[in-house]
Structure 1
Amino acid sequence: MALPLCLLYSTTVLSNVIILVVIKVEQSLHEPMYYFLAMLAATDLSLSLFFMPTMISVHWFNWHSVTLDACITQMFFIHTFGVVRCSDGHAFDCFVDICFPLHYATILTHGVIGNIGAAVLLRSVVAVLPVPFFTKRLHFCHSNVLSHAYCLHQDAIKLACADTRVNSIYGLLAVIFIIVLDALVLLVSYILILQGVLGITAQEERVKALNTCLSHICAVVLFYVPLIGMTPIHRFGKHLSLVVHTLMANIYLLLPPVLNPVVYSVRAKQIRRQIL
């Protein structure tokens, strides 16, 4: 597993760094759409920096143990940046671009984009901050073998021999009020975008408008499909093989950071041209 993981890690870091550098250096890419893409690349890069070294250490250097404090710290950052990834601003960018094209430049100013990014990060930190404290108070007295080569909240609390109802309830509420709510907002946004696209009379302009949002739709699918598959398995699939749990958790964390830059590089001509 070590060599494929190293290749994935190298690809993730290199591709997302290239996206960030290209957007920073090229003046023509200093637009809202590419700022939101830079936020997504920075999120994927940050997320990979917190989980991939642990995975490589386990598979390459036969690293078998982690302290509780290190586990909780890793858990906090993985879940924080996972929540940030749920709150992608591309849907808002597409909505304004298609439904209010004449006011696009005045609505999505640099200040507004910066405030959106800060609000998303702050919300994620506040939402995940109780998790380390809830986990730290637990007592672990059984087999302390994690299902994955990194720490997740839902995986760690299975090992506790204390009452974990508070952790389970908070985790469930967080999923409902953050991930499910964000998914509903995305759904409503794209319904409104579709209405706006159908209102465009020119066929060529309609196709161009749909093409603008296609990259983001692919990124959303890459994130939500593994997440939707992993969540019920963790909640209700205790009878399933450990391989299934590990595979879904690895796909959830590994796949989007690797494929998102590829999707945007292929779909966005300006990005592809500047990379080349």
Structure 2
Amino acid sequence: MSCVVGELYLVGLGLSPEYMSIKALEVLRTVDLIYVDTYTSYVDLDLLKRLVGRDLTPIRRVDLEERSGAPILELLERGYRVALAVPGDPLVATTHVTLLVEAHRRGIPFHIVPGVSIIPTALTLSGLMVYKIGKVATVVYPKDGVLFEYPYDVIKLNDSSNLHTALLLEYDGEKGVAMTVREAIEILMTVEERRGEGVLTGERLVVALAGLGYPGCTICAGKLKNISNLSIGKVPQTLVVVSPKPHPVELEAMEAISSRWCRVG
């Protein structure tokens, strides 16, 4: 029985393939096979292929989650060096951590190539201080009539410590689902109307970010009532709810960045 096993590389692509590290590019050019996660966030496959100069295979959610990465693990056990290229940082999503743990359990060597992630980049590119980032949450669409209020609770919790709240928005590349900031605000304000706790008002400062890492990216800071009316087309999108009492330097930085990158259609 052969004892030869391959090696697993979890490679972060950063905000876009153009933000890949030299190490990430080196790994992707030398492994035997490259799989790309295209469902947790947007990735320009054509751009990635041009930069790497090799064929890429998108991997389905079912193969990583329901089948626990079986297609990749089978190749690793046959001796192949396989890379899973992931938008952002490869270990932000629990699914990728699970793959790493399973590879380790089977005695398969693994390597991690970090990438620039939306957290904390959404804060820093908003002009906000990274040490004031609070708990992160994801805003999702109502399911079967159920409105998920957890992000509202997270904002309320972070507010109590004067921390900023970074909100990721529901995205599923396979299903063509990409929530916009406008939709996220509508959902959050629906929760506010139901709860009436005054966590969110039209005067609340927020930052909308879209298409970070790609040409034409958008960063718009302002009052929630104004941001909710913007038409922002780029994806993926992120919403940052600014702490109740931001530092004066943060306010100046937000204004400077927004004046430079607030592009709306």
TM-score band, normalised by shorter chain: under 0.3
Task: Decide which structure has greater strand share.
Answer: 2
Which protein, 1 or 2, shows the higher relative CO under an 8 Å CA cutoff with sep ≥ 6?
1
**TM-score normalized by the length of structure 2:** 0.26
